[in-house]
Each structure stands twice: as C-alpha cells, then as structure tokens.
Structure 1
C-alpha cells in the first residue's frame, strides 16, 4: 500500500485514511469519483463501476430510441474498516458505511448504514 495508494491518488482517487489492502486486479473505472476510508480491504477482481448505461437499454425496450446513450454517472464512497470480498461489484451512487463486510461476489448498490 505504501506505493500503490500514492499512485491511485495521482490518478484522482481520494482516501480518508490508509487502506489495509487493495488487490492488484481491482478495477476502478473513474478514479475521480471514488473515495476509500481507513483500514479498507478490497479483494482481487472486484470492480468499482461509477457509470450505468442501463437507462438507454430500458428506453429502447419501451420503444423510445434516444439520440445518445443516457449515462448515470455517480460516485462511490467506502467508509472505515470495510472488507470487500473477492469479485464484488460496487455500483454507481453507492455509499458503504463503517464496519461493513461485503461478501465475495456481491453486487452492491445504494446506501449501507454503519455496522
């Protein structure tokens, strides 16, 4: 973490403390929209997605053809003392509180309160 955190900060990611571990194969699609807290663990092959184009798909299914893709682009905040299990997907507009365990393979969207 000693070298990886400064590299991520250079890319625009924000930190409210020092993470315990971030896997080498974690994917962040927009560093500028992601904040990680103190003592966070992010296991390998997890994805942080700050965009969602499903609105375009839904509109087309309704018979409405948009001129351009409609994107929902929102940030992700992870609190302190959080464990994110392997191959988890954290969706846009998600706020994970403090003292949370996200199980391996979970898809998380929305607000998860502390504890």
Structure 2
C-alpha cells in the first residue's frame, strides 16, 4: 500500500510540473512541496527517503495582514544537476543549485548553491571534500568481497559480528 502511495505522489508531482531526468532514482518518500514545477532534477541522480524540497517562504504569512506587505510572497527554484546524490532527510531550501557530480550528506540543510564535484553536509551544509577525495576515502573504507543478493546479509553479519 505504501509503495502504491509513493508512486501516486511521484506521478502527481510530475503531472504538476516536477522535472526528472533519465535514470534518476526516487527512493522512499521525498516531499516535493506545494510547487513541484519549481524543481528540476537532472539525469542519473538519487533522491533518498525523507528529502524535503522547500520552494517558498511561508513565514511571510506573518505580516501579510499589513497593507504594505499584503502581496509579499517569496518563491524560489531548486535545481539538481546531473549525477548527484541527496542523502536521507536532507532539506533543500529555495533558490539553490546543486552542481553536477555532487553529494549532499544525510540530514543536511542546503541553503546555498553547491558547486560541481563536491561533497557537502551539516546544518547548514558546508564543504566536506571534493568528489575525488570522497572516492578515495570510500574505497579505503569499503568492505571487501561482499556479494549481492541473498548472500549479502550473511556476509555482512559475518564481517561485523563474526557469526
């Protein structure tokens, strides 16, 4: 039932104008907000569960009763260029671009542009390393000889717990 609802929400967002490139994976249930037509996601990206896309400043509601600010409404676009990874529960604020070949770490708050070939993380998101450094670090910390499929679980249990 949940997967059906996830697919429904994604199709609805696309119907409302969300642009998603080829070979992009949308995992779990991101929140594309009330203006999905202000979001563009490039090719070969991964958007993980719980990512929130904020395309407007709802706080302007506080002072719209004042005549001078009656029509004040702020919106902004979010662009994710090709080959990016957006980690679980990240929040993407309005008026940002995430450059190609970039990684946003889980739980990050992105409120400024991220340049290409970068890894950013934190609240607010800050530069952690470039993509080449990330590749090297990941290779050094990877677990050797872990199979895919059914044997993966047993191999990981053996590796971490020795069982």
TM-score (norm 1): 0.77
User: 5 Å matches for 1:36-51?
Assistant: 36-51=41-56
Give the C-alpha shift of residue 56 in structure 1.
Answer: 6.0
Q: Distance in 1 between matches of 2:79 and 2:103?
A: 14
Flag the structure with higher helix content: 2
Per-residue displacement from partner, 1:50-69 (whole Å, max 9, x unpaired)?
01134566xx6xxxx73437
SS at match of 2:40: strand
Q: Distance in 1 between matches of 2:94 and 2:71?
A: 17
- Unaligned runs of 5+ residues in structure 2 are 1-6, 118-163
TM-score (norm 2): 0.56
4+ residue runs of structure 1 moved beyond 6 angstroms?
A: none
Q: What is the aligned-residue RMSD (CA, Å)?
A: 2.2
Q: Distance in 2 between matches of 1:66 and 1:28?
A: 30
Aligned length: 104
Query: Match for residue 82 of structure 2?
Result: 80
* Closer/same/farther in 2, CA of residues 54 and 81 from structure 1, 3 Å limit: same
Flag the structure with higher strand content: 1
Give the C-alpha shift of residue 16 in structure 1.
Answer: 3.6
Choose 1 or 2 for highest CA Rg.
2
